[in-house]
A and B are shown apart, each in its own frame.
Chain A
């Protein structure tokens, strides 16, 4: 192409004028917009388009007809909704008293409660599911055996292979989300409002019910919605517990559409309601909160005193201890027992002890250590990408450097409403095939992880950025430094610690991610979570438990590093 052929559309002078006003920051946001489009928008658009296309690319509504053409498929959809609602309700019941106790009262053992909440958050849900199979299998679970031995009953105390069992196990690993939300909201409610109620004659619990909790209603609702959304997007636990319990849900059904012949288009059509439900939930939340005032924080500050509970504080501590025991201590204990057992059903005895399961994984298993390594570096790379992106977007958004700052911020937060499994199918649709042919590569998984957890990174970066007043940067610029100098020497050091916390959270949630990974891994790029899933169908709980032990040790190392570098509560701050 030569110049002579192309018509000159733009007059030169105006182009030059533009060039003169061109700021490097424009280039940056153009670049950011491009990256966000690749990571977030394109996979979704591709998913939407595929849902209306045949494999040959011809328009059709057939995928939707197939996806909703069978009662079983629709049942799965309703099962997911019911499961989400039940799990979220249980999670709220578990978490709200704990949050209230830790935030507002003189309950003892707050450190212990914190540790339990944190551990429940860190433990991958599918691992907890395996633990609960060992605990509450109707005939062989330790809890049920003990129950029968004590009471002589013939029915099990608790059957994990049931709808309630599935919902409870999910809730036991998602309640920390509600806890974090509600506790940070409660921290802001000043005691004066409670005092007012007390003066008018309300007791402690009436005050809590009528004043304190209604004030944090948005946080409770927010927590409920998050758990609901997490639950309907969960793959591991429904696969491990749901199949024996005969419960089919959306995610396990999506997996079936990937059976031969791979019906990606039907999966895309079937995934659409998941996306719509998520968006609707966020809408409902906005609607429900819009017409009431929940201002508990005013300019006056206000005093925050601990409520003296008297003997009741032990009851609350008992509750926290119970939740901690059920969500963390008991599952860990049985997993540990199984991982060192020759045959876990034989229980604790010396001749049943072995390190064979660990030896097999560490020295004889071709993939186990590679998967540990994959997990660490995929998660680290994804966390880095997500955080760098988030930081740049947050910088532009907070400093209002571009008219399009809000659009960028919106794109960065958008994956929040996309269930992981839907995002994975979008990535498969968009990037697995040639020309890019990324299927089975590390890059595809890293990008999917980065996109999936971008909102966490963005919320973090945004909060950190807001805390730094622009005047400090302005000082540098007045003294002749460029914007980049200012960022490097002033802003970056100031936000370092907050960002480190954000990086670690992304790292940890990425390292336990299963629902996106399971569709994208190749033979050499399996992560620990996927290998654990593969092991879970190999009929060997002892090795499975041992691998779970390794996974937990790896995660714990990083949590410990995080606590050391970013503060003890870095995972539980609300951003």
Chain B
């Protein structure tokens, strides 16, 4: 049947690509522990990555970079917002079907929940020691490991708002003069917006959002949606937008500028984990080694992602993490708080 011939074709072309990549991969040093895992992973052939961390373009690049380094192991990239990724994982669990090998969410509250429900595989990547010191050992028991450092700030369209007029603090956007000019993502979809909402509530109470609502912000789904709106001039100021996607967009010619809020930059130091029932556990473990290694950081830096491995410099235009004041809720606050703020949000904003 046609289906089979197509699959054969894909396999053949993957094999052809692998041959080319294999030469390059061999040229690069591969430590012993990765080589062993690679052997096992190659037999599994692929892994499925549910991810809400890096943007779509970067996630695809990460998948390709992984296969290039570890020939013969393909990555099925399933990129969505973090809550949608979690929804997919929950639907899998509910149906009793194992499809996901690596789960990556910006809402780090997901991981304490999954760990408590005993749904994660214990594995500590050897390469975890290579991460930035503050990112190592995300879980003392080794059920999940940092794979993403998301910085969420504000941004403005420079043709609509001058640098002098732009808001400086998270609370500045509550000023009525920003009515109909703001854009923000949605905590029901974006994990990072959920974390941000928990943090804002912690700092200013829910009143922050009832006042924000009076300014009628445009609500998207992803934390990146405001960037699209700013590019087009639909809105002037984006709240809690990711630094990477904003810088990438600015580099492509859009009139954008990042604002580092005075209270601090929201950081999601977010892990990835392997579900206990992952169908390709060795490939998943190898992927964990990859995320901690310099190769992931190299790849994401090309699209202005913030490296998590100290061997890689921050991308141009981004400030080094040590120069920033970072704010974030604790993991317990996130796990308990995100579902709460999601409901409150829907009551306040109507969607």
Contacts and interface: CB of A to CB of B under 8 A. Distances in A.
Interface of A: 72, 137-140, 161, 239, 242-244, 246-248, 252, 256, 258-262, 264, 342-346, 352, 360, 364-367, 370, 373, 377, 428, 432-434, 437, 439-440, 519, 522-524, 526, 534-535, 537-541, 543
Given A137-B234, A243-B219, A366 B75 contact: yes
A439 B225 contact: no
Given A242-B351, A342-B253, A539 B95 contact: no
Contacts of B74: 366
A259 B55 CA distance: 21
Contact of A437 (B87, B95, B226): B95
Given A364-B64, A439-B92, A534 B346 contact: no
B271 interface: no
Given A244-B219, A433-B95, A437-B95, A138 B60 contact: no
Contacts of A261: 90
B199 interface: no
A365 B97 CA distance: 26
A439 B57 contact: no
B96 A345 contact: no
B64 A140 contact: no
B227 A433 contact: no
A437 B61 CA distance: 32
Contacts of A539: 55, 220, 222, 224-228, 245
Contact of B220 (A140, A243, A360, A433): A243
Given A72-B346, A365-B60, A539-B228, A246 B252 contact: no
A138 B234 contact: yes
Interface string B87-99: 1001111111101
The 3 closest A-B pairs by CB, nearest first: A539-B224, A140-B232, A345-B232
Contacts of B55: 538-540
Given A243-B186, A259-B90, A377-B3, 4 more contacts: A140-B233, A244-B218, A432-B94, A439-B95
B289 to A, nearest CB: 20
B100 interface: yes
A437 B98 CA distance: 10
B341 to A, nearest CB: 13
Contacts of B227: 539
Contacts of B350: 72, 246-248
A361 to B, nearest CB: 10
B97 A440 contact: yes
B234 A243 contact: no
Given A437-B96, A523-B78, A543-B57, A343 B249 contact: yes
Contacts, number: 162
B205 to A, nearest CB: 22
B146 interface: no
B97 A246 contact: no
A535 B76 contact: no
22 contacts: A140-B233, A239-B221, A243-B186, A246-B219, A246-B350, A256-B188, A260-B87, A342-B252, A345-B231, A352-B253, A360-B57, A364-B60, A366-B74, A377-B2, A432-B94, A437-B95, A534-B79, A537-B84, A537-B189, A538-B56, A538-B57, A539-B224
B87 A243 contact: no
B346 to A, nearest CB: 6
B167 interface: no
Contact of A139 (B10, B188, B235): B235
A433 B76 contact: no
A537 B77 contact: no
Contacts of B235: 139
| Among A252, A345, A428: residue with most chain B CB under 10 A | A345
A259 B92 contact: no
Given A247-B351, A364-B60, A534 B80 contact: yes
B249 A538 contact: no
A535 B83 contact: no
B233 A139 contact: yes
Nearest to B189: A537
A161 B222 CA distance: 17
Contacts of A161: 218
B254 A343 contact: yes
A259 B222 contact: no
Contacts of B219: 243-244, 246
B143 interface: no
B293 to A, nearest CB: 21
Contact of B94 (A264, A365, A537): A264
A543 B56 contact: yes
Nearest to A525: B99
B96 A246 contact: no
Interface in B34-62: 48, 50, 55-57, 60-61
| Among B86, B95, B99: residue with most chain A CB under 10 A | B95
A137 B93 CA distance: 39
Nearest to B236: A139
Contacts of A246: 219, 349-351
A537 B97 contact: no
| Among B10, B61, B350: residue with most chain A CB under 10 A | B350
A524 B234 CA distance: 35
B228 A541 contact: yes
| Among B48, B56, B77, B100: residue with most chain A CB under 10 A | B56
Contacts of B2: 377
A243 B81 CA distance: 15
Given A137-B232, A139-B234, A538-B224, A366 B252 contact: no
B97 A439 contact: yes
A494 B98 CA distance: 48
A284 to B, nearest CB: 30
Interface string B331-351: 000000000000000110111
A367 B253 CA distance: 28
Contacts of B349: 246
A252 B228 CA distance: 22
A366 B63 contact: yes
Given A260-B86, A366-B77, A538-B79, A523 B351 contact: no
Given A243-B351, A246-B219, A433-B95, A344 B232 contact: yes
